[in-house]
Amino acid sequence: MGSSQATANTPNAQPAGRDATELLASEAARALAMAWQTGDRLTVEDMLVRHPDLAAAPQAVLRLISEELLLRREAGERIQMHEILSRFPAWRAELELLLVCHELFEEEAPPDFPQAGDECGEFVLVREIGRGSQGQVFLARQPALCDRPVVAKLTALDVAEHLSLARLQHTGIVPLYLVQDLPERRLRLLCMPFVGGASLAALSAAMQSTPLAERSGKTVADALVRCHTETTETPAVGGPALDFLRQATYEQAICWIGACLADALHFAHWRGLVHFDIKPSNLLLAGDGQPMLLDFHLARGPVAASGPPPDWIGGTQGYMPPEQAAALAALRDGQPIETPVDARADVYALAMVLDELLSGDGPSAPRGEGVDRLRRANPRVTRGLADVLAKCLAPRPLARYADAQSLADDLRRHLADLPLRGVPNRSPLELWRKWRRRRPRSAARLAAMLVSMAALVSAGWLWAADRVRESQQALLDGQRLLDRHVYQEAMVRLERGLNGLRLVPGSGALKQALEGCLYQARRAALGDELHRFVERLRFADGGTALDAEAAEAAAQSCAAFWQMRDRLANLDGPASPEVAQVRADLVDLVVFWLDLQARCPTDRLTPEAAAEVLAQAEAALGRKLVISDERSPRVAGKSLAVTAADAVSERYRLARSLLRAGDESRALDAFRRAVREEPQDFWANFYRGRCAYRLARYDEALNAFSICVALAPRQAECYYNRGLAFASLGQTPDALFDFNRAVELDPTLTTAATNRDALRRQLGE
């Protein structure tokens, strides 16, 4: 709460005959409204000082007075007629009429916020624990459930925070129990669990008397217990989180809190929400020490730089990054947004909070000095941790961590004394200390060996040679695993080999070979993940068999894969089976994605965004007829030519477009031609079987799915669909066998189990 918001402002076209005074009055009224939205409550007199020419124009002054009255009513103020008349006695008659009109045409009374002790719905409000521009927060009791303590947040009916919270179920996010509208009070009540604890703002204030140099994790835990017991009679709950805080250093405690909150942010970003208001008062340590995110009333999807402006955007000065502040200002001025605002804005804001806790500086303190400023303020902050926060606070979004999960990983690597991945490990001394803490026994043995050896330089060469041999073996193992398509294990081996060369001089060529092989493994792993995802959509008829929620999740995954397309393969490079597979998967991904958009209840692509995706696909993948036809309403009834290159694949995709358009007969003919040209093509046979089954040509469907079983004997969907064909032909024992086999291969295929049980009941089993 307490955050500034701006709404989209699109000036109306001005009539040709409007004079300069009326134009100036309109601009002054718009500036007055914008000032109130940002918390600066200017008056008519303030605007007349800025624009003295308006004082001589009665209609302009009345326009400004009317605008101020509307703004004051929206803010919940009661308008006193005598006060307005005393301010502008020269226009008494006009003002009396204006005030009467405002009383008659007032749209709606302001929300009627309750007080402690009142009953709201099924809750009894105990005491107020928070207040902001969007509403009030109370500790409440729920008599219907043993008087359990809950948090009741009361907002105006037009606030949609509950729609954001309903999408988030994560241990690091305070969940939503229920939503209840109170029309008699013009309020919406959000019920959330009461987890106790205190916000980071309250904890920071509670630790203010303890100097940074004397703080520890126990300082944080003790402050949490004090704040908790001051606001509730319930004692703080013990557990692993509080135990860790009491044993950690202050820097470790803040680092761990940041990692937990970054995990929660990453989950929210994965669900399509950017918080947009990360600050100490919106970050909570629960009574058991668990860090949690609060207050999603400003949360929304990422803000794009192109296309129509968003309806609104918000944030808190001092914690928002430059691109968010620029977008807020642009929206207020009715200008286009030049830089997109996405998940990296939350990464910036979270780092600002961590920096504030570690340095003791407020949000208004200059951050331009980077690493050195933080380490001067708190010498116990290591260079590695300072580098992590400096990367998050980079003015350019592209220079920050790409996502909150990468930040969480580096913070945990720092806690575990492991080398950092997102920033260079610039301090050899810090690396040595981390290694020594990770392997205390090895460090002691190494120290004893170095003391006992007369030739220190020789020992260093022996150690380096050992690391080189281990890294060479890691390279060979990684290449073998990569050839066997065991990508995850290959990446582990190659990363281990690279870590072994961190302190070894003269190993540049070996490092380069390891990095190249690791790059190939990561790209191959991502391509394998894309292929498995697209295969699932293909089996689900391009996603048409999914319900609305699953379709929206699949569409979000399609968007994520499309954003990573440059990391999947060098699409402009030499042809290879791997590149051909990635290109084929990306073609289907785009087609499935655009089809799924039609059934997504929220977060749909705009027509302009969909057109941009198609343009990108054609530029990256070549002009594919299936993609080009997506620009038309549907392909049914059109005459489609097949390109000479990759004719079977193109014919299969065009036939599938006919199937999606509901033209099963023409689709079946097209799939038959594709099968004649390539009898062993799995998907052409699979969709031929689907079309034949829908057209009640069960013998042909049985033939097609039998070929699929032969081509992919470990694929449960092949047995399931062949079982349907057997059942339709009355061959019940064969159908039962196939349904049983499908369930054995994939126990989650519930439709196979349902059909199997139905056949058993028919047989009296």
Instruction: Give the span between the Cα atoms of 585 and 653, in whole angstroms.
Output: 11
- Residue 511 located in a structural domain: no
Instruction: Assess whether pLDDT exceeds 50 at residue 16.
Output: no
- Residue 686 or 261, more confident: 261
Among 358, 360, 352, 385, residue whose Cα is nearest residue 371: 385
* Residue 599's pLDDT band (cuts 50, 70, 90): low
331/545 Cα distance (integer angstroms): 41
- Whether 589 maps to a domain, the answer reads no
- The stretch 393-404 carries a mean pLDDT of 93
> Contact 168/271 with Cβ under 8 angstroms?
yes
Query: What is residue 131's predicted lDDT score, i.e. its pLDDT?
Result: 78
Provide the pLDDT for residue 256: 95
Output the pLDDT for position 544: 59
> Residue 749 pLDDT > 50, yes or no?
yes
| Residues 208 and 151 placed together within one structural domain of the fold | no
CATH number at residue 263: 1.10.510.10
Mean pLDDT value of segment 346-373: 81
Half-sphere exposure of 685 (CA within 13 A, CB side): 19
Find which of 97-101, 475-479, 505-509 is predicted with most confidence, using mean pLDDT: 475-479
Amino acid at 336: P
Q: What pLDDT is stored for residue 711 in this prediction?
A: 87
How far does Cα 498 stand from its chain's mean position?
Answer: 31
Q: Does residue 397 or residue 641 have the better pLDDT?
A: 397
Q: How confident is the model at residue 571 (pLDDT cuts 50, 70, 90)?
A: low
- The pLDDT value recorded for residue 373 is 83
Does residue 375 sit in the same domain as residue 425? yes
**In-domain check, residue 703:** no
Residue 624: its pLDDT value, please? 54
Instruction: Check whether residue 75 and residue 166 sit in a common domain.
Output: no
Q: How many domains does the chain contain in total?
A: 3
Per-residue pLDDT band at 370 (split at 50, 70, 90): low
Which of 382, 340, 336 has the alpha carbon at shortest distance from 358? 382
* Domain of 32, in residue numbers: 19-104
Residues 208 and 178 placed together within one structural domain of the fold: no
In the numeric block, which tokens belong to residue 365? Answer: 């303190």
Residue 633 banded pLDDT, cuts 50, 70, 90 = very low
Question: CA triplet 604, 610, 613: central angle to 5 degrees?
Answer: 125
Q: Answer whether residue 342 is part of any domain.
A: yes
Q: What's the pLDDT at 628?
A: 46
DSSP code per residue over 589-612: HHHHHHHHHTT-SSSPPPHHHHHH
Domain finish residue from 104, 137, 158: 104
Mean pLDDT of the chain: 80
Domain boundary among 377, 406, 434: 434
Question: CB-hemisphere CA count at 13 Å for 325?
Answer: 11
Domain membership flag for residue 443: no
Predicted pLDDT of residue 592: 76
Residue with tokens 């369930």, as numbered in its chain: 743
User: What confidence score (pLDDT) does residue 387 get?
Assistant: 92
Tell me the mean pLDDT in the region 404-423. 91
Single-letter amino acid code for the residue at 573: G
554 belongs to a structural domain: no
Report the range of poorest mean pLDDT among 54-58, 273-277, 634-638.
Answer: 634-638
Count the neighbouring beta carbons within 10 Å of the beta carbon of residue 151: 20
In a domain, 87, yes or no: yes
pLDDT in tens, 100-118: 665 544 545 677 788 888 8
- pLDDT grade, residue 259 (50/70/90)? very high
Instruction: Indicate whether 394 and 250 sit together in one domain.
Output: yes
Q: Does a structural domain hold residue 577?
A: no
Claim to verify: residue 237 and residue 299 sit in the same structural domain: yes
The model's pLDDT over 297-316, given as tens digits with 9 standing for 90+, comes to 888 889 988 777 787 788 88
Half-sphere exposure of 405 (CA within 13 A, CB side): 5
Q: Residue 40: exposed, middle, or buried by beta-carbon count in 10 A (0-12, 13-18, 19+)?
A: exposed
Judge whether residue 639 has pLDDT over 70: no
pLDDT, tens only, 41-84? 888 888 888 888 887 787 788 888 888 887 877 776 767 777 77
Token pair recorded at residue 306:
């192109």
Q: Which residue has the higher pLDDT, 635 or 513?
A: 513
Q: Which residue has the higher pLDDT, 311 or 150?
A: 150
Domain final residue pick, 392, 407, 434: 434
CA proximity to 419, closest of 353, 496, 480: 496
Confidence check: pLDDT of 734 > 60: yes
Burial of 236 (0-12, 13-18, 19+ CB in 10 A): buried
C-alpha distance across the termini of the chain, in Å: 62
CATH (domain of 141): 3.30.200.20
Between 4 and 711, the more confident residue is 711
Do residue 27 and residue 55 come from a single domain?
Answer: yes
Is the confidence at residue 437, as pLDDT, over 50? Answer: yes
d(CA 222, CA 228): 10
Residue 512 has pLDDT above 50, yes or no: yes
- Name the pLDDT band for 195 (thresholds 50, 70, 90): confident
Of the pLDDT bands very low, low, confident and very high (cuts 50, 70, 90), residue 542 is: low
- With 70 as the cut, is the pLDDT of residue 593 above it? yes
333 versus 364: the higher-pLDDT residue is 333
How many Å apart are CA 128 and CA 139, to the nearest integer? 6
The single-letter code of the amino acid at 483 is D
Residue 130 host element (H or E): strand 123-132
In this structure, are 190 and 264 located in the same domain?
A: no
Query: How far apart (Å, rounded) are the C-alpha atoms in residues 199 and 284?
Result: 4
Give the Cα separation of 301 and 318 in Å (integer): 21
Ranges 129-143, 250-264, 522-536, most confident: 250-264
Q: How many CB atoms lie within 10 A of CB 343?
A: 23
Please state the φ and ψ torsions of residue 73, each to the nearest 5 degrees.
-65, -40
Where residue 293 falls among pLDDT bands split at 50, 70, 90?
A: very high
Express each pLDDT in 703-726 by its tens digit. 988 998 898 898 888 898 999 999
Cα 140 versus chain centre, distance: 31
The residue-averaged pLDDT of 371-378 equals 82
396 has pLDDT over 70:
yes
In the predicted structure, residue 642 carries a pLDDT above the cut 50 = no
The pLDDT value recorded for residue 644 is 33
- 315's enclosing H/E stretch is strand 312-315
Same domain for 255 and 303, yes or no, is yes
| All residues at 6 or more sequence positions from 245 whose CB lies less than 8 Å from its CB, including other chains | 217, 218, 220, 221, 224, 253, 256, 289
pLDDT confidence of residue 440 = 63
- State whether 304 and 425 are in the same domain: yes
For residues 152 and 39, state if they share a domain. Answer: no
Do 37 and 139 lie in one domain? The reply is no
Q: Could you tell me what percentage of the chain is helix, strand and coil, using 3-state DSSP and rounding each to the nearest 5? A: 60, 10, 30
Contact indicator for 542, 536 with CB cutoff of 8 Å: no
